[in-house]
């Protein structure tokens, strides 16, 4: 393993490359244009691959660069400082495609798909949510039933990012009558262009560069070799790599939050009212300091999560804490950032309105913060075991 000083110098070089890439391909005017015309940065994926960012956090034995997750978090944070859309797309390549295949793919799937994902040639969309299965993710009703050597899949998924652009849809299906009994859930990597798939876009108020789709599966046939992981253990393929994605999401959130704080600070130093810069009104100066404190707290807990991951320690509780602290910090700073910029932030030419709109998603996307609190409560033992509860009432 590399020593801390060498790692810091490697990270500095990687971050300089990331800055250069963003300055060249995603300058502020281009970010604004893409947001206005809802243009996702799929065209920039070859650059992410060329910089080695998709493979960077994976072990060298499987084609990765072996970077610690703390370094991956620094990369995500820096990308998101420029624009959240590019760091979020990188995270989807890693968390929805490469990670589930790394942990649950068979040898053939790993050999075929991991190099393609690392090269940015294969994109996997996560098709978990359904009209009746949001927070209650296990309530999926999309069914997969055996059909000869393969399966037939019917049902509906909703709010699926990238679905139209993806090569595969990592789809959680109910497989009643299979291992796991009536509650059996199994995951499939459904080829996006399989017959019987229909998609419609979902218009929305933010994250314009991350297209969202509603998907109908009408008797879609897939081969058994398209199954990811064992029959009946599909839920694990979705949740098995959550610790990594929690850290990436939190790190990206901090990047955007820092950009909002910097923008608000620059505005408060420059804008004059009553003959003085806004920053000389103590209420605004202290608000900027409070914004800084929120981002600082989020950064501390996120890099603690990264340390825990790199040390191989249990990360469920700290992962949920980091997700909550970072996403709520982002909402705090974008809300107050908007107040400090006032009309200047409300104009579409200001990035502040985009930060503010986009920020609203993160406290309920990627696992709502209420469900994260449930996860923490469970880790703290704040629940009554069902049998005990029944005994009490019975």
- Least Cα distance to 223 among 163, 170, 146 occurs for 146
| DSSP SS3 for 216 | strand
- Say which of 30, 366, 370, 387 is annotated catalytic: 366
CB closest to ligand FAD, residue no: 134
Nearest approach, Cβ of residue 366 and ligand FAD (Å): 6
Q: Which of 96, 92, 91 is nearest to 170 (CA)?
A: 96
What the block records as the tokens of 122 is: 């294969």
Of the residues 296, 371, 376, 379, which one makes contact with ligand FAD according to CB under 6 A: 371
Instruction: State which residue, 42 or 364, has the beta carbon closest to ligand FAD.
Output: 364
Site for ligand FAD in 342-361 (CB under 6 A): 361
Task: In whole angstroms, give the CA distance from residue 65 to residue 42.
Answer: 23
Tokens representing 58 are 């994976």
- Looking at residue 231, the DSSP 8-state letter turns out to be T
| Largest Cα–Cα separation, the chain | 79
Among 52, 134, 240, 277, binds ligand FAD (CB under 6 A): 134
Query: One symbol per residue from 158 to 197: x for binding ligand FAD (CB under 6 A), - otherwise; what is it?
Result: -xxx------------------------------------
The DSSP code sequence of 84-113 is: HHHHHHHHHIIIIIIHHHHHH--HHHHHHH
Please tell me whether residue 129 binds ligand FAD under the rule CB under 6 A.
yes
Sign of CA dihedral 136, 142, 148, 149: negative
Q: Which of 53, 59, 60, 58 minimizes the C-alpha distance to 75?
A: 53
Under the binding rule (CB under 6 A), the answer on residue 365 touching ligand FAD is yes
C-beta of 182: minimal distance to ligand FAD in Å? 22
Report CA dihedral (375, 381, 387, 393) to the nearest 10 degrees: -100
Nearer to ligand FAD, 233 or 374 (CB): 374
Our CB check for ligand FAD shows the closer of 46 and 131 to be 131
Measured from the CB atom, is 160 or 263 closer to ligand FAD? 160
Q: How far is the CB of 270 from ligand FAD (least distance, A)?
A: 33
- Nearer to ligand FAD among residue 17 and residue 165 (C-beta): 165
**Total number of residues that touch ligand FAD (CB under 6 A):** 19
Closest distance to ligand FAD from the beta carbon of 121 (Å): 20
Among all chains, which residue has been given the structure tokens 């980091």? 322
239 binds ligand FAD (CB under 6 A): no
79 within 8 A of 90, measured Cβ to Cβ: yes
Could you say whether residue 212 binds ligand FAD (CB under 6 A)?
yes
383 binds ligand FAD (CB under 6 A): no
Tokens 């986009």 sit on residue: 358
If one asks whether residue 370 binds ligand FAD (CB under 6 A), the answer comes out as yes
Stretch that binds ligand FAD, among 8-16, 48-56, 123-131, 282-290 (CB under 6 A): 123-131
280 is catalytic: no
Q: Which of 26, 70, 122, 128 binds ligand FAD (CB under 6 A)?
A: 128
Nearer to ligand FAD, 131 or 177 (CB): 131
Q: What is the DSSP string of 248-317?
A: HHHHHHHHHHHHHHHHHHHHHHH-EETTEEGGGSHHHHHHHHHHHHHHHHHHHHHHHHHHHHHTT---HH
Structure tokens at 51: 């910089």
Whole-number minimum distance, CB 94 to ligand FAD, in Å? 14
DSSP H helices in the chain:
4-25, 28-37, 45-50, 69-82, 84-92, 99-104, 107-118, 234-239, 242-270, 282-310, 316-341, 343-346, 351-362, 369-379, 386-393
Q: Is 207 a binder of ligand FAD (CB under 6 A)?
A: yes
Query: Which residue's CB is nearer to ligand FAD, number 10 or number 374?
Result: 374
Catalytic residue positions, numbered: 366
Which residues in this chain contact ligand FAD in the complex, by CB under 6 A? 126-129, 134-135, 159-161, 204, 207, 212, 361, 364-365, 368, 370-371, 374
């Amino acid at each position: 393993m590399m020593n801390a000083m060498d790692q810091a110098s490697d990270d500095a070089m990687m971050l300089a490359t990331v800055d250069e890439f963003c300055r060249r391909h995603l300058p502020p005017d281009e970010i604004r244009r893409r947001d206005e015309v809802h243009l996702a940065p799929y065209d920039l994926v070859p650059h992410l691959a060329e910089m080695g960012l998709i493979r960077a956090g994976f072990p060298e034995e499987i084609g990765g660069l072996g970077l610690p997750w703390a370094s991956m978090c620094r990369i995500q944070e820096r990308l998101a400082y420029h624009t959240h859309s590019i760091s979020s797309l990188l995270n989807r390549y890693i968390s929805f495609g490469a990670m589930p295949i790394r942990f649950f793919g068979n040898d053939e799937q790993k050999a075929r798909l991991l190099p393609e994902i690392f090269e940015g040639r294969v994109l996997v969309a996560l098709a978990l949510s359904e009209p009746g299965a949001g927070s209650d993710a296990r309530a999926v009703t999309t069914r997969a039933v055996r059909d000869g050597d393969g399966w037939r899949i019917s049902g509906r998924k909703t709010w699926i990012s990238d679905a139209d652009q993806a090569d595969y849809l990592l789809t959680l299906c109910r497989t009643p009558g299979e291992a796991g009994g009536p509650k059996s859930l199994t995951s499939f990597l459904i080829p996006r262009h399989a017959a019987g798939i229909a998609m419609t876009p979902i218009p929305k108020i933010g994250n314009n560069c991350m297209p969202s789709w509603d998907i109908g599966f009408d008797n879609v046939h897939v081969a058994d070799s398209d199954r990811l992981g064992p029959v009946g253990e599909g839920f694990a393929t979705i949740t098995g790599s959550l610790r990594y994605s929690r850290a990436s999401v939190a790190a990206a959130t901090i990047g955007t939050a820092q950009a909002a704080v910097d923008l608000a600070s620059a505005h408060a130093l420059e804008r004059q009212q009553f003959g003085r810069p806004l920053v000389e009104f103590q209420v605004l100066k202290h608000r900027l300091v409070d914004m800084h404190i929120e981002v600082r707290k989020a950064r501390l807990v996120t890099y603690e999560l990264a340390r825990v991951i790199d040390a191989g320690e249990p990360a469920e509780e700290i992962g949920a804490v980091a997700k909550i602290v970072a996403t709520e910090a982002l909402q705090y700073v974008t809300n107050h950032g908007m107040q400090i910029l006032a009309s200047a932030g409300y104009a579409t030419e200001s990035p502040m309105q985009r930060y503010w709109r986009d920020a609203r998603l993160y406290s309920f996307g990627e696992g709502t913060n209420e469900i994260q609190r449930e996860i923490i409560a469970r880790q703290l033992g704040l629940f009554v075991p069902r049998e005990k509860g029944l005994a009490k009432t019975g």
